[in-house]
Amino acid sequence: QVQLVESGGGLVQPGGSLRLSCAASGNIFRFNVMGWYRQAPGKQRELVAFITSGKVINYARSVQGRFTISRENAENTMYLEMNSLKPEDTAVYFCNLLEQGGTRRNYWGQGTQVTVSS
**What is the predicted pLDDT for the residue at 101?**
83
pLDDT > 90? residue 73: no
φ, ψ (nearest 5 deg) of residue 50? -140, 160
**What is the predicted pLDDT for the residue at 63?**
98
Task: With cut-offs at 50, 70 and 90, classify the pLDDT of residue 38.
Answer: very high
42 vs 75, higher pLDDT: 42
φ, ψ (nearest 5 deg) of residue 88? -70, -5
> Contact 94/109 with Cβ under 8 angstroms?
yes
| Averaged pLDDT, 51-73 | 95
Q: What is the average pLDDT value for the chain, to the nearest integer?
A: 95
Listing DSSP states for the chain in one string gives: -EEEEEE--EEE-TT--EEEEEEEEES--SSEEEEEEEE-TTS--EEEEEEETT--EEE-TTTTTTEEEEEEGGGTEEEEEE-S--GGG-EEEEEEEEESSTT--EEE---EEEEE--
pLDDT > 90? residue 19: yes
